[in-house]
Amino acid sequence: MNEEAFNTAVLGGGCFWCMEAVYKDIPGIHSVESGYAAGSVPTPSYEEVCTGRTGHAEVVRITYDPRIISYRQIVDLFWKAHDPTTLNRQGADTGTQYRSIILHHSEDEKLQAEASRAAAAADFSRPIVTAIQPIDIFYPAERHHQNFYAANPAHPYNAAVIRPKLDKLKRTGVI
Protein backbone atom coordinates (compact mmCIF):
# COMPACT_ATOMS: atom_id res chain seq x y z
CA MET A 1 0.00 0.00 0.00
CA ASN A 2 1.11 3.53 -0.70
CA GLU A 3 2.60 5.26 2.38
CA GLU A 4 0.61 8.40 1.51
CA ALA A 5 -2.59 6.55 2.41
CA PHE A 6 -1.44 6.18 6.03
CA ASN A 7 -2.09 8.58 8.89
CA THR A 8 -0.16 9.10 12.10
CA ALA A 9 -1.10 9.48 15.74
CA VAL A 10 1.33 10.61 18.46
CA LEU A 11 0.64 9.48 22.03
CA GLY A 12 2.55 9.38 25.30
CA GLY A 13 1.44 7.13 28.12
CA GLY A 14 4.52 6.59 30.24
CA CYS A 15 7.47 4.60 28.97
CA PHE A 16 7.52 4.49 25.18
CA TRP A 17 8.57 0.81 25.29
CA CYS A 18 5.17 -0.01 26.84
CA MET A 19 3.12 2.00 24.39
CA GLU A 20 5.03 0.59 21.45
CA ALA A 21 4.38 -2.98 22.61
CA VAL A 22 0.65 -2.29 23.07
CA TYR A 23 0.09 -0.90 19.58
CA LYS A 24 2.54 -2.77 17.36
CA ASP A 25 0.40 -5.84 16.61
CA ILE A 26 -3.01 -4.17 16.33
CA PRO A 27 -4.66 -4.74 12.91
CA GLY A 28 -4.31 -1.64 10.76
CA ILE A 29 -1.18 -0.41 12.53
CA HIS A 30 1.64 -0.19 10.00
CA SER A 31 4.43 0.86 12.40
CA VAL A 32 5.08 2.23 15.86
CA GLU A 33 8.14 4.38 16.48
CA SER A 34 9.38 5.48 19.90
CA GLY A 35 10.48 9.08 20.26
CA TYR A 36 10.25 12.41 22.00
CA ALA A 37 7.89 15.37 21.56
CA ALA A 38 6.30 18.39 23.24
CA GLY A 39 9.52 19.86 24.59
CA SER A 40 11.83 22.74 23.82
CA VAL A 41 15.21 21.10 23.18
CA PRO A 42 15.93 20.25 19.52
CA THR A 43 17.05 16.69 18.73
CA PRO A 44 17.12 15.49 22.35
CA SER A 45 18.85 12.33 23.49
CA TYR A 46 17.34 9.79 25.85
CA GLU A 47 19.77 10.90 28.55
CA GLU A 48 18.66 14.53 28.15
CA VAL A 49 14.97 13.64 28.21
CA CYS A 50 15.49 11.56 31.38
CA THR A 51 16.67 14.66 33.25
CA GLY A 52 13.17 16.13 32.93
CA ARG A 53 14.65 19.45 31.80
CA THR A 54 13.92 19.20 28.05
CA GLY A 55 10.14 19.39 28.39
CA HIS A 56 9.83 16.36 26.10
CA ALA A 57 7.64 13.37 26.80
CA GLU A 58 8.40 9.83 25.75
CA VAL A 59 5.87 9.21 22.98
CA VAL A 60 5.11 6.84 20.13
CA ARG A 61 4.30 7.79 16.57
CA ILE A 62 1.76 5.31 15.26
CA THR A 63 1.45 5.01 11.50
CA TYR A 64 -1.88 3.43 10.62
CA ASP A 65 -4.24 2.64 7.77
CA PRO A 66 -7.45 4.62 8.40
CA ARG A 67 -9.38 2.15 6.23
CA ILE A 68 -8.72 -0.53 8.87
CA ILE A 69 -8.47 1.36 12.16
CA SER A 70 -9.64 4.86 12.99
CA TYR A 71 -7.91 7.59 14.95
CA ARG A 72 -10.71 7.35 17.51
CA GLN A 73 -10.11 3.61 17.98
CA ILE A 74 -6.41 4.28 18.55
CA VAL A 75 -7.20 6.94 21.14
CA ASP A 76 -9.89 4.80 22.79
CA LEU A 77 -7.27 2.06 23.33
CA PHE A 78 -4.88 4.64 24.78
CA TRP A 79 -7.03 5.09 27.92
CA LYS A 80 -6.95 1.35 28.60
CA ALA A 81 -3.21 1.01 27.94
CA HIS A 82 -2.05 3.23 30.83
CA ASP A 83 -3.31 5.18 33.83
CA PRO A 84 -4.26 8.65 32.54
CA THR A 85 -5.10 9.85 36.06
CA THR A 86 -1.54 10.01 37.38
CA LEU A 87 0.38 13.21 36.76
CA ASN A 88 3.91 12.75 35.41
CA ARG A 89 4.14 9.07 36.21
CA GLN A 90 3.22 5.55 35.20
CA GLY A 91 3.87 3.00 37.90
CA ALA A 92 7.46 3.37 39.11
CA ASP A 93 8.40 5.60 36.14
CA THR A 94 8.23 9.19 37.38
CA GLY A 95 8.97 12.56 35.79
CA THR A 96 7.44 14.85 33.20
CA GLN A 97 8.89 12.65 30.44
CA TYR A 98 6.34 9.98 31.48
CA ARG A 99 3.30 12.26 31.36
CA SER A 100 0.10 11.26 29.63
CA ILE A 101 -0.27 13.26 26.42
CA ILE A 102 -2.05 13.17 23.07
CA LEU A 103 -0.46 15.30 20.34
CA HIS A 104 -2.91 16.07 17.55
CA HIS A 105 -2.27 17.06 13.94
CA SER A 106 -5.61 18.77 13.27
CA GLU A 107 -8.69 20.29 14.86
CA ASP A 108 -10.61 17.12 13.96
CA GLU A 109 -8.08 14.95 15.85
CA LYS A 110 -8.29 17.32 18.80
CA LEU A 111 -12.07 17.04 18.91
CA GLN A 112 -11.94 13.24 18.61
CA ALA A 113 -9.35 13.02 21.41
CA GLU A 114 -11.45 15.28 23.66
CA ALA A 115 -14.60 13.24 22.98
CA SER A 116 -12.73 10.03 23.67
CA ARG A 117 -11.34 11.47 26.92
CA ALA A 118 -14.84 12.53 28.02
CA ALA A 119 -16.20 9.04 27.31
CA ALA A 120 -13.29 7.36 29.12
CA ALA A 121 -13.70 9.51 32.23
CA ALA A 122 -16.52 7.26 33.44
CA ASP A 123 -14.03 4.37 33.71
CA PHE A 124 -11.86 6.13 36.30
CA SER A 125 -12.49 7.16 39.89
CA ARG A 126 -10.03 10.09 39.60
CA PRO A 127 -9.91 12.83 36.94
CA ILE A 128 -7.99 12.21 33.73
CA VAL A 129 -4.92 14.50 33.61
CA THR A 130 -3.91 13.76 30.00
CA ALA A 131 -2.84 16.83 28.03
CA ILE A 132 -4.23 17.20 24.51
CA GLN A 133 -2.20 19.64 22.45
CA PRO A 134 -0.94 20.22 18.90
CA ILE A 135 2.15 18.34 17.74
CA ASP A 136 5.07 20.54 16.87
CA ILE A 137 7.83 18.07 16.01
CA PHE A 138 8.53 14.41 16.68
CA TYR A 139 12.10 13.28 17.31
CA PRO A 140 12.73 9.54 16.84
CA ALA A 141 14.40 7.86 19.80
CA GLU A 142 17.73 6.15 19.43
CA ARG A 143 17.80 2.89 17.49
CA HIS A 144 18.15 0.65 20.57
CA HIS A 145 14.82 2.00 21.90
CA GLN A 146 12.91 0.91 18.79
CA ASN A 147 10.92 -2.33 18.93
CA PHE A 148 12.35 -2.79 22.42
CA TYR A 149 9.94 -5.42 23.73
CA ALA A 150 10.40 -7.78 20.79
CA ALA A 151 14.14 -7.17 20.49
CA ASN A 152 14.88 -7.70 24.21
CA PRO A 153 12.69 -10.59 25.42
CA ALA A 154 14.84 -11.28 28.50
CA HIS A 155 15.03 -7.65 29.69
CA PRO A 156 13.76 -7.33 33.29
CA TYR A 157 11.52 -4.32 32.43
CA ASN A 158 9.70 -6.47 29.89
CA ALA A 159 9.02 -9.20 32.46
CA ALA A 160 8.08 -6.82 35.28
CA VAL A 161 6.07 -4.17 33.43
CA ILE A 162 5.32 -4.75 29.75
CA ARG A 163 4.39 -8.45 29.71
CA PRO A 164 1.89 -8.11 32.61
CA LYS A 165 0.34 -5.07 30.91
CA LEU A 166 -0.05 -6.93 27.61
CA ASP A 167 -1.39 -10.03 29.38
CA LYS A 168 -4.03 -7.93 31.16
CA LEU A 169 -5.08 -6.17 27.94
CA LYS A 170 -5.36 -9.54 26.17
CA ARG A 171 -7.17 -11.21 29.08
CA THR A 172 -9.77 -8.43 29.17
CA GLY A 173 -10.21 -8.47 25.39
CA VAL A 174 -8.85 -4.97 24.85
CA ILE A 175 -6.23 -6.23 22.38
- Catalytic machinery residues: 15
Contact between 61 and 102 under an 8 Å Cβ cutoff? The reply is no
Q: β-strands 100-104, 131-134: how paired?
A: parallel
> Percent helix, strand and coil across the chain, each rounded to 5?
40, 25, 35
Pairwise CA distance, residues 59 & 76, whole Å: 16
